[in-house]
Amino acid sequence: MTNIAIVEDNDAEAQALADGIKRFMDGAKEKYTLRRFDNAEAFLENYSSRYDLVFMDIRLPMMDGMQAAERLRKMDGDAALVFVTDMAQLASKGYKVDALDFIVKPVSYDELSLALMRARERASRMTDVSVMVQTAGSTIRLGAKKISYVEVYNHKLIYHLGTGDEVEAYGQLKDAENALGGAGFFKCSRCYLVNLRYVTAVREFTVDVGGDELQVSHPKRKELLAAIAAYYGGSSV
């Protein structure tokens, strides 16, 4: 099942996209859901749904599509994003929000089908586990590969990302461990759940993860070394 969103204020152009998507998905015999939003605020408000593919117009009322895409990426780094617009000169800015494709209006079925095929290929390559986390303002999805470690601090969870950003969330460390344990994560103490792909050094009772030095409990050190050896010995994560 592919979940698709269209963010387009023009009714005729939104319908043309919907018709083209239906033609492609029916031809491929693939199931999908489709929801249309006529402005970016409605799309982003209480964003919690997992959209696999988002078609975003750039010239939107109130908040333009590029601004909306930047906000989307803070909540969801995995959804495939395709800009649909008559402003071809902005195509070069798509890399800033990891845009998959850029379609110039009026949209032709050939261009649309190519974008859908690219999205399908991208989805097939994505084997990353995702975790849904509850923050103060919304529920967001984080890809496991983007998390360097999870920390318990002041009765909250801090998700430290490989980019240096942090996401503060509600929950317990055991919840994160249950969600991420099979994705190459290891609980090295009562306070830290580390992503083994970000481990750069293990000292006597500390471990370097994403540039930070974290404590390792004494009973966990041997288990951590064994987990690292197993991870680099054949894990596909």
Mean pLDDT, residues 104-117 taken together: 94
CATH of the domain at 108: 3.40.50.2300
Of all residues in the chain, what percent carry a pLDDT higher than 70? 91
Q: What is the structure's pLDDT at 162? A: 85
| Whole-number Å distance between alpha carbons of 52 and 152 | 30
- The single residue listed with the structure tokens 């969103």 is 5
Local confidence band at 90 (pLDDT 50, 70, 90 cut-offs)? low
pLDDT of residue 205: 93
CA–CA gap between residue 108 and residue 115 (Å, rounded): 11
Picking from 125, 142, 172, the residue at the C-terminal end of a domain is 125
Express each pLDDT in 117-138 by its tens digit: 988 877 765 556 788 898 988 8
Reported confidence tier of residue 161, pLDDT bands at 50, 70, 90:
very high
Write out the residue range of the structural domain in which residue 201 sits.
130-232
Condensed to tens digits (0 to 9), the pLDDT of residues 10-33 reads 999 999 999 999 999 999 999 999
* Residue 190 exposure: Cα atoms within 13 Å on the Cβ side: 2
- Mark whether 137 and 92 lie in a shared domain: no
- Taking each helix axis from N to C terminus, what angle separates 109-125 and 11-28, rounded to the nearest 10 degrees? 60
Same domain, 176 and 223: yes
Judgement on whether residues 23 and 118 belong to the same structural domain of the protein: yes
- Output the pLDDT for position 143: 87
Total of domains in the chain? 2
**pLDDT of 146 strictly over 90:** no
- Asked if 8 and 117 sit in the same domain, the reply is yes
Question: Do 110 and 154 share a domain, yes or no?
Answer: no
Q: Is 237 within the bounds of a domain? A: no
pLDDT band of residue 170 (cuts 50, 70, 90) is: very high
Mean pLDDT across the chain, nearest whole number? 88
| Residues 104 and 24 reside in one and the same domain | yes
Q: How far is CA 35 from CA 21, 26, 52, in A?
A: 12, 17, 12
Specify the pLDDT at position 237.
38
Q: Is the pLDDT of residue 233 over 70?
A: no
| Pair 179, 205 in one domain | yes
Report pLDDT digits (tens) over 30-68. Answer: 999 999 999 999 999 977 667 889 999 999 998 999 999
